[in-house]
Amino acid sequence: MLMSYNLRLYAYIDRDDDGQPDDFKPESEINPLISIVNQSQPDILVIQEMGGSSALDDLQERLKKAGINYPHIDYLKNRGTFANLAILSKYPISSTHPVTNLSYTVKGKQYPVLRGFQQVVIEVKPQHFLTVINVHLKSKIYHPAGQTEMRRNESRLLATHVRRLLKSDPQNQIIVCGDFNDSVHSSSMREMLEDNQSGLDDLSLRDSLGQIWTHFYRYGETYSRIDYLLTSDSLRKHWVKEKSGIILSPLTQAASDHRPIYATFNLRN
């Protein structure tokens, strides 16, 4: 089982407005987060909004004490913020292929894909490999280039990258997951899903009540689906739908503004 989870600032930041980024994620948020992951026991944990390497060490140690050990870890530090990417796995990570050199042009100015795309190949059983791509697209915070257009371009580059992977190997079992910061009908998600442009399918996950939201925006008092699990056809046929979904638990509200999403695949055949 693979879980994707935006942890909401698992990092040192300025939480008390004293001008110093020296306040770690509170225990009142960490403890329910650890409980959620421990109760779910994912084999692969894909994380957004991870702080520095010391924060990742802290998370790994807490999970180990709670009873879930991830001996294989990959970490991708982005170009300028604390919102880094991490993948923790019970299975060996056979290779890493970080995608950090992509850029696009808006209004005549070039911009990098700020957080990059974290890509690893995991050997889930002998000689059976799964490609996992961890994504955290541009936030909805104002930018003079237009945050919507920036996100659309990041998504377009991601779709092109995945198409190339599938062209080189149509049987590549790929899962692209994370925080896309946009709704399914947005221009950025159309770049991924319309006319199957990326070669990926949206698993369209739900919780046990049938609800689809993955993010609660407290200031605007809105619920939305902005976290996704997208799979290649060769992986989707192994999908166990009844063992996949969105975590429904009172703990999620305390842990993060996102709910974790998860999917199970039967790769024995």
How many domains is the chain partitioned into structurally? 1
The pLDDT, as a whole number, for residue 118 is 98
Q: Chain-wide mean pLDDT for the chain?
A: 94
The pLDDT of 138-155, averaged and rounded, is: 93
Phi/psi of residue 154, each to 5°? -60, -45
Buried b (16+ CB within 10 A) or exposed e, 55-76: bbebbbebbeeeebebebbbbb
pLDDT, tens digit, 9 for 90 and up, residues 2-19: 999 999 999 887 788 888
- Please state which of the ranges 139-148, 162-171, 202-211 shows the lowest mean pLDDT: 139-148
The pLDDT, as a whole number, for residue 267 is 84
Hey, is 37 helix, strand or coil? Answer: helix
The pLDDT of 27-44, averaged and rounded, is: 97
pLDDT beyond 70 at 269: no
Provide the token pair at 76: 């991708």
DSSP 192-244: HHGGGTTSEEE-----TTS----EEETTTTEEE--EEEEEEHHHHTTEEEEEE
The pLDDT, as a whole number, for residue 220 is 79
Could you tell me the CATH number of the domain that includes residue 51?
A: 3.60.10.10
pLDDT, tens digit, 9 for 90 and up, residues 212-250: 999 998 887 899 999 999 999 999 999 999 999 999 999
The parent domain of residue 15 ranges over 2-265
